[in-house]
Amino acid sequence: MEINSKIEKAKKGDQIAFTFLLDYYWNEVYGFMLKRTENETTAEDIAIETFAKAFDKIASYNSEFQFNTWLIAIAKNVYIDLLRKRKTNLFIEITDAEDQQAYNIADTTPSAEDALIKEQNLSRLLQCVKELKPHYQEVIQLRYFQEMSYQEIAVKIDEPLSNVKVKLLRAKKLLAEIIESNR
C-alpha cells in the first residue's frame, strides 16, 4: 500500500514522504481537533505540533496500528497538555484593595537593563536565524517577524499551504537546535 511505503520512506528521513503524510492526514487531525477546541487557531496549532511530534518520533511508530490512529493519539496528548497548561495559568481571585496595592508596587516599564537584555536576545536570535538555510530563514522571517498567516506565506512564496507548514516545523526545530548548540 502506498501509505505504508510513504511511512517507511519518512522513517528514513524522506522529506517528500513527510509532506505527503502531512497532506494526506492534515484534514483528519485538524478536523478532529477543531471539533474539540471549537477554535481554528488552536486546532491548527495542535495539528502542527502533532505532526512535528509525529515526525520527530516516526521511528517509534508501530505499523501494527493505523497511522491515523497514532496521529490522533498524539493530537489528544498535545490537547491534554494544552488544557493542563491553561489550568495551571488560571488567575487567583484578589480583592480590589489587593489589586490596587499590587498596582502601586508593580512598575511594568522596562528598566534600561531589561531593554538591553531584550535587544541582546533579539540580536542573538537573529544571528541564529542567519545560520538556517535561506528558505528556512524566509519562512521564519515571514511568520514571526512580519506576522504573516500560513496562507499569506503560501501565497508569498508560491508554495502549497502544507509545504509552508512543514517548512515552518522544520525551521523551528533546526532553529531550536542551533540556539541550543550556541549556549
Identify the pLDDT of residue 53. Answer: 87
Residue from 38, 55, 47, 52 nearest 72 by CA: 47
C-alpha grid cell, residue 85: 497548561
Q: Which residues does 80 contact at the CB level (< 8 Å), separation at least 6?
A: none
Residue burial 142-175, b: 16+ Cβ < 10 Å; e: rest: bbeeeebebeebbeeeeeeebbbbbbbbbbbebb
**Residue the block writes with cell 509525529:** 54
pLDDT tens for each residue of the chain, 183 residues long? 588 889 899 888 888 888 889 889 999 999 999 999 988 888 988 998 898 888 888 888 888 889 999 999 999 999 998 888 877 655 555 556 655 555 555 455 566 666 666 677 777 888 888 988 888 889 988 988 888 888 899 999 998 887 788 888 888 888 888 888 887
**CA torsion 72→77→79→82, rounded to 10°?**
-160
Identify the pLDDT of residue 106. Answer: 47
Say if residues 130 and 137 touch (Cβ distance below 8 Å). yes
C-alpha grid cell, residue 129: 536565524
Identify the pLDDT of residue 77. Answer: 92
Say if residues 61 and 55 touch (Cβ distance below 8 Å). no
Identify the pLDDT of residue 1. Answer: 59
Stretch (H or E) spanning 150: helix 150-157
Identify the pLDDT of residue 100. Answer: 58
**Angstrom distance (rounded) from CA 155 to CA 164:** 10
Identify the pLDDT of residue 32. Answer: 93
**Angstrom distance (rounded) from CA 56 to CA 48:** 12
Identify the pLDDT of residue 89. Answer: 59
What's at 85, amino acid-wise?
K
Identify the pLDDT of residue 126. Answer: 83
